[in-house]
Structure 1
Amino acid sequence: MLQPARTKFRKAHKGRINGTAERGATMNFGSHGLLALEPERITSRQIEAARVALTRHMKRAGRVWLRIFPNIPVSKKPIEVRMGKGKGNVEYYVFRVKPGRIIFEIDGVSDLVAKEAFDRASSKLPIKTKVIKRNINI
Structure 2
Amino acid sequence: MLVNKKLHNKYSIKGCKKFQFLQIGNFGIKTISYGRITESKWKLLERDLQRKFKLILGHKKNRIWSSLEFNSTLTKLSLEARMGKGKGAIYANSKFLKPGALIFEFTRLPKQYENEIFTFIQKKLDLKLKLVRF
Bin of the TM-score, shorter chain as denominator length: 0.7 to 0.9
Tell me the residue number matched to 1:56: 51
| Identity value in percent | 28
CA distance in 2, matches of 1:75, 1:31: 38
Larger Rg: 2
1:35-74 map, 5 Å: 35-59=30-54, 61-74=61-74
The structure with more helix, counted as a fraction of residues = 2
> How many aligned residue pairs are there?
114
For the residues of structure 2 that align with 1:57 and 1:25, how far apart are their CA atoms?
26
Distance 1:56 1:130 in 2: 22
Distance 1:54 1:124 in 2: 10
Tell me the residue number matched to 1:101: 101
| Structure 2: unaligned runs, 5 residues or longer | 1-15
Give the superposition deviation at 1:49.
2.1
**2:18 touches 2:100 (CA, 8 Å); kept in 1?**
no
Tell me how far apart the structure 1 counterparts of residues 125 and 45 of structure 2 sit (CA, whole Å).
Answer: 7
Deviation at 1:116, TM superposition (A): 1.2
Consecutive unaligned residues of structure 1, counting only runs of 5 or more, are 1-20
CA contact (8 A) 1:53 1:117 kept: no
Q: Distance in 2 between matches of 1:67 and 1:114?
A: 20
Taking structure 1 as reference, are residues 43 and 68 closer, same or farther at Cα in structure 2, changes over 3 Å only?
same
| Correspondent of 1:29 among 5, 24, 45 | 24
CA contact (8 A) 1:53 1:120 kept: no
Residue by residue over 1:62-114, the C-alpha shift from the partner in whole angstroms, topping out at 9 and shown as x without a partner, is: 10001212121111111221111111111100011100011011100111223
Question: TM-score, structure 1 length as denominator?
Answer: 0.75
Contact 1:47 1:125 in 2 (8 A): no
Deviation at 1:23, TM superposition (A): 5.9
Whether the aligned pair in 2 keeps the contact of 1:62 and 1:106 (CA below 8 Å) is: yes
In 1: Cα distance, 2:31 partner to 2:74 partner:
21
Find the counterpart in structure 2 of residue 8 from structure 1.
Answer: none
Q: Which residue of 1 aligns with 2:118?
A: 118
In structure 2, C-alpha distance between the alignment counterparts of 1:49 and 1:121, rounded to whole Å:
11
